[in-house]
Chain A
Amino acid sequence: MDCRVKPGNDNIMKMPPFDYACPATLSEAVALLASGKGEAKALAGGQSLLPMLAFRLAQPSLLVDLRKLADLREIKISPDGVRLGAMVRWREILDDARLRSAHPLLRAAVVEVAHYQIRNRGTVGGSLAHADPAAEMPGIAVTCEAEISVAGKSGRRLIKASDFFLGPLMTALAADEIIVDVRLPEWPPQRRWGFVEFARRRGDFALAAAAVFYDRDGNAKVCNCHVGAIGVADRPLRLSSAEAVLNGSSVDDERIAQAEAAACAAVDPQDDIHASGAYRRALIGTMVERALKAARAR
């Protein structure tokens, strides 16, 4: 069956016009992006970019579809940590039994990503490049001190997650750069962790979320505590004041209450249509408290 949708049939065109390319290699993809002079966009799973196009919030001249780049679809687990290719979909993380022990915090966060159908399409690299301040993956990358490997016209470079997110939907990626993978450092098996988020409706963007983990030293005291906050600033944050409260402690209720207070004091969320700043500030404290209690109970 052959079908043609005639040009000019504008009544069914939701999105602005753009050209489309589906390169077979990373170097071709980079060259295509570079040819767009800042007006080209990489298309991964499309679960954030296509809504932006539907609202005409983005009007790229060219979409470079990365779906044929098989190298970007690998999940590599080694003693050094977990490498997620940029085109790894949420569903593939959830289906990979190895990650339950290799990175349980990652898995717990991905469980909370959007809805079933979106998890079948959405990708790790797409979420990082989109950089929504309330998204789980950027929060996990920052909390875990991940590095993001990118390829561009002038070669490859590694960007620390803490340097990658510059603001809402803004990253350190140059116009010709494509995320290749994200590298999460080694996860010791004894590590305690918790991930808690709150949204009004299951699968919606979090109003706030907390990702925490810590190790324990020879005296069973907390060390290497990491507290990440999602949805309370223009980018994901580490809350070093809350971490300082916890390091050296035994995570009793009093310390958890202090960490909760430190978390609330460390953020300055703005009012928006979803929640007031005061509500979000209180909520991140509760999220940190619950995540710490979950970590302690593991």
Chain B
Amino acid sequence: MMKSRFEVNGKSVEVEVEPRLTLADCLRHALRLTGTHVGCEHGVCGACTVLLDGAAVRSCLMLAVQADGSKIVTVEGLSNDADLTPLQKSFRKHHALQCGFCTPGMITTAHALLSEEPDCDAARVREVLSGNLCRCTGYISIVEAVLDARAAYKNRATERG
């Protein structure tokens, strides 16, 4: 068993885990943050995407012990209690989910993309989301939702100055 200390959604945590425990399983089972979904468990489907020091990564392709010292944001950290976020609203408006299994990965990935590139075009959104499998929607509504959310991220970039 090894200790790993990191920050999740702004809170410091310390876990004691076997080295072979993936970050995805650590988030779900030790920290009970079950918004992070585990689909393929070998880095193909993107459902387990989280933000590691701001960058979108597959949490099934990381060990919990590798997260030591880092800042993790899960899909729970991208929501807010009072109201839906602009990205969530856009997903609802465009019917960008059906079963919802892939949605946490879509939201975390799209959030990273829009934070870095609020001016991205449809081709870029498609390229980035190629790492996230959705078996329901056919992607068109997801791409539209992400494109429609760009305005909120542009405004945010302007506010930050």
Total number of A-B contacts with CB less than 8 angstroms? Answer: 125
Q: Is the CB of A5 within 8 A of B57?
A: no
Tell which of A55, A65, A115 has the most Cβ of chain B within 10 Å: A115
Checking A7, A19, A54, A120 against B55 with a beta-carbon cut-off of 8 angstroms, the contacting residue is: A120
Q: Is the CB of B109 within 8 A of A18?
A: no
Checking A16, A20, A46, A91 against B2 with a beta-carbon cut-off of 8 angstroms, the contacting residue is: A20
Q: A55-B42, A117-B109 are in contact. Are A91 and B18 (CB under 8 A)?
A: no
CA–CA, A16 to B21, complex, Å?
10
Is A14's CB within 8 Å of the partner chain B? yes
Residue of B nearest to A13 (CB): B20
A residues contacting the other copy or chain, number (CB 8 A): 39
Q: Is the CB of B29 within 8 A of A117?
A: no
Q: Is the CB of B128 within 8 A of A116?
A: yes
Is A12's CB within 8 Å of the partner chain B? yes
CA–CA, A115 to B128, complex, Å?
7
6 A-B pairs with the lowest CB-CB distances in the bound complex, closest first: A115-B131, A20-B19, A202-B130, A51-B42, A15-B20, A120-B55
Q: A50-B62, A116-B131, A202-B127 are in contact. Are A7 and B43 (CB under 8 A)?
A: no
Is A1's CB within 8 Å of the partner chain B? yes
CA–CA, A47 to B62, complex, Å?
8
A62: shortest Cβ distance to chain B, in Å? 9
Is B22's CB within 8 Å of the partner chain A? yes
Beyond contacts A5-B15, A12-B25, A202-B127: 7 other A-B pairs, Cβ-Cβ < 8 A, are A1-B31, A2-B16, A3-B16, A4-B16, A116-B112, A120-B57, A203-B131
CA–CA, A120 to B116, complex, Å?
13
CA–CA, A112 to B128, complex, Å?
12
Contacts of A43 in B (CB 8 A): 66
Residue of A nearest to B2 (CB): A20
A72: shortest Cβ distance to chain B, in Å? 16
Among residues 2 to 31 in chain B, which have CB atoms less than 8 Å away from a CB atom of chain A?
Answer: 2, 11-22, 25-26, 29-31
CA–CA, A63 to B20, complex, Å?
10
CA–CA, A46 to B17, complex, Å?
18
B residues contacting the other copy or chain, number (CB 8 A): 44
CA–CA, A201 to B127, complex, Å?
10
Checking B26, B42, B55, B61 against A5 with a beta-carbon cut-off of 8 angstroms, the contacting residue is: B26
Q: Is the CB of B14 within 8 A of A54?
A: no
Among residues 50 to 95 in chain B, which have CB atoms less than 8 Å away from a CB atom of chain A?
Answer: 52, 55-58, 60-63, 65-66, 68
Q: Is the CB of B46 within 8 A of A13?
A: no
Q: Is the CB of A13 within 8 A of B18?
A: yes
CA–CA, A47 to B2, complex, Å?
22
Contacts of A7 in B (CB 8 A): 1, 18
Checking B15, B29, B56, B126 against A12 with a beta-carbon cut-off of 8 angstroms, the contacting residue is: B29
Checking A3, A17, A63 against B15 with a beta-carbon cut-off of 8 angstroms, the contacting residue is: A3
Contacts of B46 in A (CB 8 A): 115, 117
Contacts of A19 in B (CB 8 A): 19
Contacts of B55 in A (CB 8 A): 91, 120
CA–CA, A201 to B68, complex, Å?
34
Contacts of B12 in A (CB 8 A): 1
Q: A5-B29, A117-B49, A202-B130 are in contact. Are A20 and B65 (CB under 8 A)?
A: yes
Is A121's CB within 8 Å of the partner chain B? yes
Checking A13, A46, A91 against B21 with a beta-carbon cut-off of 8 angstroms, the contacting residue is: A13
Q: Is the CB of A50 within 8 A of B61?
A: yes
Is B114's CB within 8 Å of the partner chain A? no
Residue of A nearest to B113 (CB): A116
Contacts of B16 in A (CB 8 A): 2-5
Residue of A nearest to B20 (CB): A15
Checking A2, A9, A55, A120 against B14 with a beta-carbon cut-off of 8 angstroms, the contacting residue is: A2
